[in-house]
Structure 1
Amino acid sequence: MASGYLCTVPEQAILLATGDDAASFLHSQLSNDVLKLGEKEARLATYCNAKGRMLASFLMWKSGANIYLQMTQDLLPAMQKRLQMYALRAKIKLSPATELFALGLGGSKAQAALAPWFSGLADLAVGGKLDATESCFGCVLRLADSLGQPRYQWLLAEAQALAVWPQLAAQLTAMPSEMWNLFAIHAGIARIEAATVEKFVPQMVNFELVGGVNFKKGCYPGQEVVARSQYLGKLKRRMYLAHSDASALAAGSEVFSSADPEQACGMVVNAAINPAGGVDALLELKSALINAGSLHVDSHPITLLTLPYALPNEEKTEEKAQEQAPASAEKQ
């Protein structure tokens, strides 16, 4: 896997936003800055309810005046309906971008495999977007590394994807599409699924640590709760990388600790089978209990692994929190 792999991206759908007000409307609804989203970048974002709970998580990018929101497939109909409902008189049209097909590539050889269609890949940083030298071959997004190796998502028409697959497969190891979810888990990037809608505020799944929340962008649904969670007091719940010997784990399943066996201490955010055995998962947990006793899901013991990024020291005095909080947060 380290040398290079190739797969289709599973269980994902893309919502296309067009119209004169597309950027300004989405900016007013999402947790990240849409107005400043450039042509050469991709950003994470979330859509929250009024209580700051995540309704969906997105990978978003821009092409011309068009804005694309990629999410888990089971959420697209509800997200399209909800966003369109709140658009009111805004000049925006939302429609599934069914013409786009997503290929996932990673490992040390992925850059060389993509080179025939993209120039400048060596300079493409995480969060970058690069258009193909020929427009019919779409664009590539540089995603967060996983297992110490780069990841790319190539978005193009299905016909072109079928055409380039043999050339890519000659250089990279073709893998089942489910492996893409495993790599996303090891990148520490949470994906909201139908089973976890409205279960978490962004910080509970480390979303602000991976660039999914902009605390200076202005109002959006749930912003007051998200800002208060960030600047006041201590964040008591975080997301952790874990392994289980179970044959499968489902998103939304409850996690229990032997230190407090009567009530759940967390929830499975995402999970994927590891070919080496068992299941790897992202778990949202009460931080106070991660070292207080053994963890388990459905009687299967849980072993915590190391995330690819550090969790901050959450201890804050009230005075320090007030110093850190921007004026906009205090007024929300």
Structure 2
Amino acid sequence: MTETRLIDRALIRLSTDDPEEDMREFLQGLVTQDVAAVRADAPQWSALLSAQGKLLFDFLLWADGEDILIDCEASARDSLIKRLKLYRLRRKITIAAEDNLAVHWALDAPDKPHDPRLDALGHRWLEASATDPETGADADWRRHRLSLGVAEGEAELGSEKTLWLECNAAELNGVSFEKGCYVGQENTARMNYRQKINRRIVVVPLEKADTKRQRKAWPELGLSVEHRRIDDLADLDLPDWLQQAL
């Protein structure tokens, strides 16, 4: 059987025993996506930003009954938990690692939810795993994701280095412009209103790499993830979803 588990991903569970507490309302004032749209069969790509609108963490949000699950980079999980606890204050919300479930991905799994960024990214789901695989589906996922020009995570997007709209958040369904305020919302909304996005995160062939703009090189894939100015994209073969936005 083909392995589907993404070992490089981890989960955080937000839960409460207090019927007056609302995890969705708590997150709604923090993250970029509309938490009201999150369902068990409809995850949402979202982010936690700095006050200036720069990306701190990107992740997917899932619903599990009344709880909310955050599907994030395994390497960033502890830092994200710590950050969320800073915002929790005295609220009776538990924010903890969820080790009983794992993140899974497959290109063809029609009974599972599509990745909310692009249908072409394939299908993603959460389920318990009886054993920890020695090798997961991470390499296949990375190859497919980057082939579609989609970057994610600290290594590719940066932490507190990149404005969220420069990460192609609007094109990949990572932000709601209709919800209320959240951390970093003012600058994000202003950029969208003025349509002033001067730089973009792009995936380019390694032979066209600009090392001064490079965030992450993937030599085994022949690809480079870069933060480039808009006027430096003309000679690149960009994916349709991004080309239409420029």
Q: 2:210 aligns with which of 237, 243, 255?
A: 255
Q: Does 1:238 align with 2:182?
A: no
Structure label with greater radius of gyration: 1
Greater shift after overlay, 189-198 or 178-187?
Answer: 189-198
Matched residue, 1:211:
173
Q: 8 Å contact 1:60–1:70 — kept in the other structure?
A: yes
Q: Does 1:282 align with 2:225?
A: yes
Matched residue, 1:143:
115
Query: TM-score under structure 1 normalisation?
Result: 0.64
Displacement of 1:176: 5.4
Q: 2:145 aligns with which of 184, 193, 207?
A: 184
Cα distance in 1 for partners of 2:72, 2:207 equals 28
Matched residue, 1:16:
13
Q: How does 1:84-163 map to 2 (within 5 A)?
A: 84-107=85-108, 110-111=109-110, 121=111, 140-143=112-115, 151-159=122-130
Cα distance in 2 for partners of 1:194, 1:286 equals 19
Cα distance in 1 for partners of 2:51, 2:233 equals 29
Cα distance in 1 for partners of 2:117, 2:155 equals 25
RMSD of aligned C-alpha atoms? 3.0
Give aligned-pair identity as a percent: 23
Whichever residue aligns with residue 150 of structure 2, its letter is: I
Q: Does 1:228 align with 2:190?
A: yes
Whichever residue aligns with residue 188 of structure 1, its letter is: G
Equivalent position SS for 1:82: helix
Q: Which runs of 4+ in 1 moved over 6 A?
A: none
Matched residue, 2:58:
57
- 5+ long unaligned stretches in structure 1: 112-120, 122-139, 163-173, 247-253, 257-263, 293-303, 315-332
Whichever residue aligns with residue 238 of structure 1, its letter is: R
Deviation sequence 1:270-306 (CA, Å, 0-9, x none): 55455xxx422432211112348xxxxxxxxxxx433
- 5+ long unaligned stretches in structure 2: none
Equivalent position SS for 2:130: helix
Q: 8 Å contact 1:144–1:187 — kept in the other structure?
A: no
Whichever residue aligns with residue 255 of structure 1, its letter is: D
Displacement of 1:77: 1.0
Equivalent position SS for 1:193: helix
Equivalent position SS for 1:84: helix
Whichever residue aligns with residue 284 of structure 1, its letter is: H
Change (3 A) 1:161 1:144: farther
Matched residue, 2:35:
34
Q: How does 1:69-88 map to 2 (within 5 A)?
A: 69-88=70-89
Q: Of Structure 1 and Structure 2, which has the larger fraction of its residues in strand?
A: 1
Q: 8 Å contact 1:141–1:152 — kept in the other structure?
A: yes
Cα distance in 2 for partners of 1:230, 1:79 equals 26
Displacement of 1:9: 1.1
Deviation sequence 1:28-77 (CA, Å, 0-9, x none): 10001113423431100010011100000011110111111111112111
Q: 8 Å contact 1:72–1:191 — kept in the other structure?
A: no
Compare relative contact order (CA 8 Å, sep 6+) and give the higher one, 1 or 2. Answer: 2
